[in-house]
Amino acid sequence: MQLPVSFTERMQRLLGLQEYQQFLNALQQTPPVSIRVNKAKATAAAGLAAVPWAAAGRYLPVRPSFTLDPAIHAGAYYVQEASSMFVEQALRQAVNLEQPLQVLDLCGAPGGKSTHLASLISEDSLLVSNEVIRSRASILAENVAKWGSGNVLVTSNDPRDFGRLPDFFDVMVVDAPCSGEGMFRKDPQAVQEWSEENVKLCAQRQQRILMDVWDALKPGGLLVYSTCTWNEQENEENVAWLSEQEGVESIRLELQPEWGVVPTQLGGVEGYRFYPHRVQGEGFFMAVVRKAGEEAAISHGKSKKKKYKLTPAGKKEKALVENWLLEPEHYTFLQYGEVITALPAYLFEAADEVYQHLYVVYAGTELAEVKGKKLKPLQGLALSQQLNKAAFQVAELDLEQALRYLRKEDISLGTNGNDWLLLQYKGLPLGWAKQIGSRVNNYYPKEWRIRMDLPQELPETTVLAS
């Protein structure tokens, strides 16, 4: 690996010559493989080593062909870099996760931190997961739907748009676009694209992002700032700069020595660094600060004078879909165009506020599409953690059938009927098919389909037990 000279000199200064050699050796090693289990859908297979700072994080001994594992398409786990799971410690140590929260993941795609946050917050909390680039926002929405939490809104907005929601969020996670030094081992292209000028441009952009969204954080609210890079400009200097611009309290997290996380400090602000020779993970930096001031009490009840943008579903439509979810009494059923969506009732007011000011790509749990007098169940329902399987006819698929279904091919079940089928693999729902006589029509979303050819011999790649 040919590293840029100025990068090498800076890392030698940061680490010292002896430790720099250990760092350099680590960059030549095969990157570790880690996943985070969706405990609402599955349990970790016995024998997998734990990511020490993330309760559901696990290391795999080798990298399997994830595409050929139906469990990942079912949202049973997410492939996530282990260092980035450290965000969990910020929330567990600095936030009361039992209370209702309004949380923003500003740079959410492809969905690792968003699905992680969704697993940590309570069911009556709202997560707004944002991605400014529309094509990446679609991927984010897909991964959020697969995770199936039901209390997430996916938006696609520029950071400055969040100024329309002053004092709205209790927690903000800003995993800022960066120069990517921490990804050098996994992505050789990042080495080619690196330059001191790009570092400077990234640092300036990160400052703009922070200032653009700062007003949307409540007084007393928590900001988690992170990058996957090592230089001080994008990390400690940016957080110290924010501290100078705005009133913040630095949050010190408790670390276990065996974790290998390196604490840093600049301008009175604590930071946390991850190096590949010290941790089983890639390069990462994180800092946690609290906004000055005390949070004012906010009512979550509906305002009689307010004009709402969200539209309740009709009584007839609600009656048809409400038994599709477990505990339907906890949900508000909404209709947006032809799509009927379920949202936890407690979140209506906050969700409507988001709809008033931002562009929403995906919301809650998409249940059904209205087709004249008929309803077509949607993929979000099949993957929901609140799906009521008893409301549907269920068909269990073997591995080959499951993968052909995920490729959106025709499959044969050897059955007859005329009804919607919920197809699943090892108890994990994958999506819908419509049986018409002996024919089975595949309704897996076209844009989600597996595009790789199936090998002649299919590997048993499921790493989890449902």
CATH of the domain at 385: 3.10.450.720
Burial of 149 (0-12, 13-18, 19+ CB in 10 A): buried
Please say if the pLDDT value at position 302 is more than 70: no
* Residue 178 is a catalytic residue: no
Which of 290, 320, 355 terminates a domain? The answer is 290
Please say if the pLDDT value at position 279 is more than 90: yes
| Alpha-carbon gap, residue 274 to 286, rounded angstroms | 9
Residue 28 domain-assigned (yes or no):
no
Residue 33 domain-assigned (yes or no):
no
pLDDT tens per residue across span 141-194: 999 999 999 999 999 999 999 999 999 999 999 999 999 999 999 998 999 999
Flag whether 131 is marked binding: yes
Burial of 409 (0-12, 13-18, 19+ CB in 10 A): middle
Q: Are residues 254 and 135 in the same domain?
A: yes
With a pLDDT cut of 70, the percent of the chain lying above it is 97
Looking at the structure of the chain, the number of domains it has is: 3
pLDDT confidence of 373, banded at 50, 70, 90? confident
Q: pTM above 0.85? A: yes
On the CB side of 214, how many CA atoms lie within 13 Å of its CA? 18
Flag whether 158 is marked binding: yes
Please check whether residue 50 is in contact with residue 58, taking contact to mean a CB–CB distance below 8 angstroms: yes
What is the token pair recorded at 104? 């923003």
Please say if the pLDDT value at position 106 is more than 70: yes
How high is the pLDDT of residue 306?
77
Please check whether residue 148 is in contact with residue 75, taking contact to mean a CB–CB distance below 8 angstroms: yes
- Sorted by sequence, the CB contacts under 8 Å of residue 281 that are 6+ apart come out as 32, 34, 51, 81, 82, 83, 84, 274
DSSP of 375-409: EEE-HHHHT-TTB-GGGSEEEE--HHHHHHHHTT-
pLDDT tens per residue across span 239-250: 999 999 998 999
pLDDT confidence of 466, banded at 50, 70, 90? very low
| Domain of residue 265, residue span | 83-290
Q: Are residues 261 and 383 in the same domain?
A: no
Average pLDDT, the chain: 95
Q: Are residues 335 and 212 in the same domain?
A: no
Over residues 5-25, the mean pLDDT reads 97
SS3 content of the chain, % helix, strand, coil (to 5): 35, 25, 40
Catalytic residue (one of 107, 178, 202, 228): 228
Q: Are residues 324 and 421 in the same domain?
A: no
